[in-house]
Structure formats: structure tokens, C-alpha cells
Amino acid sequence: MEIGNWASSAEINDCVRTARELGIESNLFELDTFGFTIIEPEKAAPPGFAKRLLEATQELAAREDAADVALNSYEAGNVDGRHMFHLIAKGDIFCEAMMNPVVMNIARYTTGQLGRLHVTVGFLKDNSSKKPTKLHCDASGVTAPMPFYPTFMNISWILTDYTEENGTLAIVPGSNRWCRPPTPIEQPKCLGGVNDDICIPIIAKPGSIVAFGGNTWHGAYPKKKEGLRAHLSYGFSRSFILPAEIWDDIPEETIRKYGPEFAQLLGKYDWQGWRGEGPHFDRAVEGQAARAAARAKAAE
């Protein structure tokens, strides 16, 4: 079917056309149907990009003190391993990973043209990380019943071999349609619970992109294999959800370099956030014009 410039679906026409060009149209179907999808390295990025991204992640981990991140020593929560946040402020390659055409296409398809960057997280596990991560939903703060459509989308770059033995992600296919988080009694045995195993392991090569929505039940298998397990997660949310990270320290030079789409993700065109002066609709108008001009230029 040829996709027209239909007014009734104006926000989605270009998204689906672009997905078709990128060869990931079926991945959008998988996201809608099963709540997750895996994009192979050949479709995700040019050769060598994942290797550079892993090297940059390891360099960042060596440069920073893990103790500076409170979550790394938080024993009461559903976490294990090392976490690094605020990635786009820590190197161009982390910005490139976010602005990747496949990542952006999935983000816009699922969280809308006005969606925001919600959070960036580097997940690293070494030989000391052996605990599973229990099933949960990323749409935290969204009261059940959750909306049927995604309010949050997790798009992750896989940087090492992801297998069950290496502590890969655990996904419950179709759980996105249940519109609620899992209960304690529904935790599967493979993740330390008592229920039958309803999740499946994500098997992915370095350079793959794994995406799943905020409604999708997921966790992580216990890591049993020696060596590093690493992925970078870019979380996107709809415009009415307060982002977890604050982006007001990103230099204007960086925003200009990556353009109006990048600025939109960081909230630079948001009309909300006023005091006595009232709404800033001029920002929204400016953003709409800037993004349209950038798309037109790219299409030339």
C-alpha cells in the first residue's frame, strides 16, 4: 500500500514511510502486538558503531566513580550492577546513539511527535553482578489501568552478547496489552519468584537495538557467565509526563549541532513552565517551524 499525505493521520504518515525505508516496518508491528522488538545490527547502525559505543561506555565507567551514583549502592531496590546516567552530556557518541534514525523513528512512532527524552542509562554488569531483576513496568507513576498506547518507550543499544547465561533481559510477550504492572505472586521462578516461567530471554548480538514499551513486563536473568554485560537505554515519554532527568545543562552548541529534533527532545520548545507571564506558545510555534524546515532540508 502506498502511504499518502492523509490529513487524518498526518502525525504518523512520515513515521511509517520512514520505517519502510529503514526496513523496520515489521518491528513497529511487533511493538504494537507483542510489546517488544529486536532490530538486527545490520539495520541499526553502520559497521563499527557499536564497538565505538562500547569503548566510550567503558571509558566513561573508568573515568567516573560508581559511588557518585546513589542507585549503585541502593540495596533495597530491584537493581544490580552499575548504572550511569545523563549520557548525552558526556560525549558526542551518546548523542549520536540517540539521534540514530532507527531510534528516532521508533521513539516518534510510539511517543508522538512532541515526545520527550525521559532518561538515559548505561547498565553494566561484571562478574560480581549475579542477582536477577524482577519483572516490572517502566511506566512508573502511571496508575493501572494504564493506557493501551505506550506512554514510555525504552530503546536500548545492546553492546555485548545478550544471552540467558549472560544475564540478558527477560520479556513477557503480550504483557503490554494487560495495562497493569505485575503482582508479587506473578514473579517467575527464573527471576526468584514462585510462578511458572512466563518470560522469554532476549537473544541479541552487539549492535542490536531492543525496544519495549512502558506497559511491557520485563526484568533480567541472573548473570552466570564471566565477563561484561552492557547496554545503553534511552527512555522516551509522551509530552504530558515529567522527564526523570533534567537537561538544562546541555550546551547550546550541542543543541545547535544536533538540530531542532534534538532540542524538542530536551524540552526547548515546550510551552509549559510559566509563572505570571502565562503559557509560552511562541516556543511551540518556533519549534514546529524549525523541525519542519529541518525535515524539508533533509529531504532535498
Residue type, 236: F
Confidence of residue 284 (pLDDT cuts 50, 70, 90): very high
Q: Where are the beta strands (DSSP E) in the chain?
A: 36-39, 82-85, 116-125, 133-136, 152-158, 169-171, 200-201, 209-213, 218-220, 229-237
Q: pTM value?
A: 0.95
Check pLDDT > 90 for residue 129.
no
Residue 215 located in a structural domain: yes
Contacts (Cβ under 8 Å, ≥6 apart) of 105: 15, 18, 19, 22, 24
CB 116 within 8 A of CB 265: yes
Residue 149 located in a structural domain: yes
Whole-number Cα distances in Å, 185 to 56, 194, 198, 215 = 40, 7, 12, 18
Contacts (Cβ under 8 Å, ≥6 apart) of 22: 43, 101, 102, 105
Check pLDDT > 80 for residue 142.
yes
What's the first-to-final CA gap in the chain, in angstroms?
24
Check pLDDT > 80 for residue 79.
no
Parent domain of 211: 7-249
What is the arithmetic mean of pLDDT over 154-170?
97
CATH for 83: 2.60.120.620
pLDDT at 259: 96
CB 87 within 8 A of CB 119: no
pLDDT at 76: 63
Distance separating alpha carbons of residues 147 and 45, to the nearest angstrom:
32
Q: Tell me which DSSP letter residue 232 carries.
A: E
Grid coordinates representing 300? 532535498
CB 103 within 8 A of CB 22: no
CB 26 within 8 A of CB 34: no
Residue 260 located in a structural domain: no
Confidence of residue 143 (pLDDT cuts 50, 70, 90): confident
Q: Tell me which DSSP letter residue 8 carries.
A: G
Q: What is the pLDDT of residues 83-104, one digit of tens each?
A: 999 999 999 999 999 999 999 9
Residue 150 located in a structural domain: yes
Grid coordinates representing 147? 493506557
What is the arithmetic mean of pLDDT over 69-74?
87
What is the arithmetic mean of pLDDT over 245-261?
96
Q: Cis ω on the peptide bond leading into residue 145 (within 30° of 0)?
A: yes
Check pLDDT > 80 for residue 108.
yes
CB 284 within 8 A of CB 269: yes
Grid coordinates representing 29? 508491528
Confidence of residue 175 (pLDDT cuts 50, 70, 90): very high
Check pLDDT > 90 for residue 299.
no
Report the share of the chain in percent with pLDDT over 90: 87
Check pLDDT > 90 for residue 31.
yes
133: β partners: 220
Count of domains for the chain: 1
Q: What is the pLDDT of residues 204-246, one digit of tens each?
A: 999 999 999 999 999 999 999 999 999 999 999 999 999 999 9
Grid coordinates representing 292? 519542519
Rounded to the nearest 5°, which phi and psi values hold at 82? -105, 140
H/E segment holding residue 193 = none
Residue 293 located in a structural domain: no
**Look-up: residue for cell 489501568?**
145
pLDDT at 94: 98
Distance separating alpha carbons of residues 281 and 36, to the nearest angstrom:
35
Q: What is the mean pLDDT of the chain?
A: 94
Confidence of residue 298 (pLDDT cuts 50, 70, 90): confident
Residue 290 located in a structural domain: no
Residue 291 located in a structural domain: no
Q: Tell me which DSSP letter residue 29 carries.
A: H
Check pLDDT > 80 for residue 78.
no
Residue 283 located in a structural domain: no
